[in-house]
Structure formats: C-alpha cells, structure tokens
Amino acid sequence: MAQGSYVEQDFTRDTNYIGDRILAEPDPAKGPGSDTPVGEQEWPVEAGRYHLVVARACPWANRAIIVRRLLGLEGAISMGVAGPTHDADSWTFDLDEGHLDPVLQIPRIKDAYEARVPGYPRGITVPAVVDIPSGQVVTNDFPWITYDMSGQWRDHHREGAPDLWPDELRAEMDEVNKRVYTEVNNGVYRCGFAGTQESYDAAYERLWTAMDWLEERLSTRRYLVGEHITEADVRLFTTLARFDAAYHGHFKCNRSKLTEMPVLWAYARDLFTTPGFGDTTDFVHIKAHYYGVHRDINPTGVVPLGPDLSGWAEPHGRESLGGSPFAPGATAPGPVPERERVPVEHNPHVDPATGLVRTS
C-alpha cells in the first residue's frame, strides 16, 4: 500500500516510487545494469519474467489485480499475494506454505526491495513488480504499472481483452482520474489520518464535494468516461469497495454510507458483478488490514463484524443508461484461475467453482 504520514496538520502521501518502466521496445542504453539511475531504467516486456506482488487489502494493489485479470495477463505475469496485515517493516507472505512466496522464495517483499537498493530508505509498498531472475523490485509506481499493462503488454493480452485507455478518451480520462485520485482515492486517507480537527474538517468537505460530483456525473452515464469500462472505473471502484467496510467508520468519512448514495451504490454494484471486479474483492482482508494495522487510529485492533454484504450482488438497473461493460469485440474474462480465487468466506458472492461473482 502507498505510504503516508501525519505532517503537522495534513496527511501527505509519499509518492517517491521506483519509477522504472517495463516496455515493449526499451532503450538498451537505459536497461538494468546500465549507468541510468534506478527509477529511470527501462526493462523489456517478457512473459514469465516478472512477478506482480499484491495485497488484496490494498486499493492500489487491487487496481493491478483487476487490470491484469481484465487483460488476461495471468499467464504472462505471475502474482504473489501478501497477507492483509504487516508490521512497520514490510508486507509478508504469511498466506503461503512456509511463509515464503512460492516464486520468489522470500518471506517479505522488503527482501526484493533490498535486493535492488540495499538499505532501501522509503516505504515498502504494494503493488510491486519483481524481476524473477534477479529477485529485484523493478517498479512500485502503481499508476504506471497498470498503464503499461494496457499499452506495453498488448502482445500478451487475451483474445477479447478490453481497451482500458481508448485514444479518443485519454484527455477526459486524465482530467477525471486526477480529480478522483486527489479528492476520493487519496481523500479518504486525508480524512483518516488528519492530525487536527481543522485539517479533518477541510478533508471531509473536500471528499464529500467530490462524492456529490460523482453522484451527479454518474446519474446520466453508466461509466465514468465513455460508453464502456475504462481504467477510470477501475480506479474509483477500489475505493468504493472499501468505503462502508473501512472508510466510513475507520477513516471517519461518515456523512453517508455508500449504500445510502443511490447512484454510486448502483454503479459500484454494476462493476462488482462484472467479471474482474467483485471476484478480486476480499472483504475479510480489507477489514483485517485497516482495523488491524492502523493502531494509531484503532488502538485495540478490534475488527468489526459488519457491514452487511448481502446487497452487493442485487440488480443495479444501470443498463437503462446505455453503454455496456465491454466494447464490441471485447469480452469479459472467464473463470478465475483456481490458485487466485478469493475464498467464499471472504466474499459471500463468489462461486467457489469458478471464482466469479454470483448475481441475484
């Protein structure tokens, strides 16, 4: 998960990531082992070479899980899943046998950061892409990870993979993504980690101004930008999926629950029941992380039993607005690979036989 901290009054997110890129046509002069500084190097697209390390609790990592699944990159980029809780040092692979990632054979993602930059001084975050041969982190720059999955890995996309960045929509997507990121994705953290009443009040007003804007925008269109799902929808969904489970109470974003905002609630259910979205959502991991790790906010570490999750697969009625999840020629991804399925006890709408969400 991306790192942040209290800074006198306002929450500030550390956005200084390892910004290397994995490109279809990298510049050999900027490759690993060159004199190009870490963070500016270019690595080659190569199926089977890279391991995507995620935590299902983390909204930024959940983006990468969804995009990888929508594009059908499971066979080209393997995935390791860290447990939902971590200490101040690192995310750990406590879900795996022997508490070792089965591909990298390391107990903590910190080991891959240290392999790249000994004494790595910044936050140990997910998602992170690791070069399997060297065991080194290539990048943890989460917006570029998913953007490059769409643009640079096209030769490895599944047949029927959607275009999540249509050329004709990019300018509008950039504008919408910027507001969603600053005011909603990051806005909930700004509320949750506010250091004073004044900073919290300001953060709360900013968040709900943006939520009201989204409620209005999505009242006349099925998706955020265009007639079909784009990465803009992926980026918003991961915050909405965590809203009632964590942000409403734990982060004090409590003007309204998601279930009390009719447009956003229907929009979230529309996406949740689309393959790639709800079938990657692990509510148990989400709650375990936020309530168990943020002891400065929740000192007891007690994890709530709610909220009621029964409504997520109810009919949403969004078809009446037009559009469709996927453009002509694109299709939904099929069953989730067995090793990557969310347990039904973590998401009651998942079909254990396929890993897909069962609709009402």
Q: Do residues 197 and 140 both lie within one domain? A: no
Backbone angles phi, psi at 263, to 5 degrees: -75, -50
Q: Do residues 11 and 105 both lie within one domain? A: yes
pLDDT category at 179 given cuts 50, 70, 90 is: very high
CA 189 – CA 195 distance, rounded (Å): 11
Answer whether residue 44 shows pLDDT above 90.
yes
For 62-116, what is each residue's pLDDT tens digit?
999 999 999 999 999 999 999 999 887 889 999 999 999 999 999 999 999 999 9
Residues β-bridged to residue 137: 130
Query: Which residues constitute the domain of residue 27?
Result: 3-156
Residues β-bridged to residue 108: 92
Task: Kindly write down the DSSP assignment for every residue of 41-66, as one continuous string.
Answer: -EEE--TTSEEEEEETT-HHHHHHHH
Average pLDDT over residues 128-138: 98
CATH number at residue 241: 1.20.1050.10
Residue 194 in domain: yes
Positions marked catalytic: 58, 189
Q: Do residues 79 and 215 both lie within one domain? A: no
Average pLDDT over residues 181-189: 98
Q: Do residues 37 and 88 both lie within one domain? A: yes
Number of compact structural domains in the chain: 2
Q: 342's torsion region: left (phi>0), alpha (psi -120 to 50) or beta?
A: beta
CATH number at residue 143: 3.40.30.10
- Among 160, 150, 158, which Cα is nearest to 328's? 160
Distant-in-sequence, close-in-space partners of 127: CB < 8 Å, separation ≥ 6: 52, 53, 54, 58, 60, 61, 63, 64, 140, 142, 145
- Predicted confidence at residue 15, as pLDDT, reads 72
Average pLDDT over residues 196-201: 98
Q: Do residues 203 and 251 both lie within one domain? A: yes
pTM here is: 0.96
pLDDT category at 9 given cuts 50, 70, 90 is: low
The whole-chain average pLDDT of the chain stands at 95
Other beta carbons within 10 Å of 220? 9
Average pLDDT over residues 223-231: 98
Helix/strand/coil for 3: strand
Q: Do residues 240 and 135 both lie within one domain? A: no
Residues β-bridged to residue 136: 131
Helix, strand, coil percentages, rounded to 5, for the chain: 40, 10, 50
Instruction: For residue 164, give the amino acid letter.
Output: L
Residue 144 in domain: yes
Average pLDDT over residues 6-29: 80
Q: What's the token pair of residue 16?
A: 């200084």
CA 167 – CA 308 distance, rounded (Å): 40
Q: Do residues 135 and 179 both lie within one domain? A: no
Looking only at the bridges linking them, the beta strands covering 128-131 and 136-139 are antiparallel
Q: Do residues 117 and 212 both lie within one domain? A: no
Q: Do residues 291 and 172 both lie within one domain? A: yes
> Which of 106, 121, 156 is a domain's end point?
156
Report the first-to-last Cα separation within the chain, whole angstroms. 32
Helix/strand/coil for 360: coil
Answer whether residue 322 shows pLDDT above 50.
yes
CA 304 – CA 283 distance, rounded (Å): 11
pLDDT category at 359 given cuts 50, 70, 90 is: confident
Q: Which residues of 99-112 are buried (b: 16+ CB within 10 A; e: fewer)?
A: ebbeebebbbbbbb
Q: Is the peptide bond before 307 cis (omega within 30 degrees of 0)?
A: yes
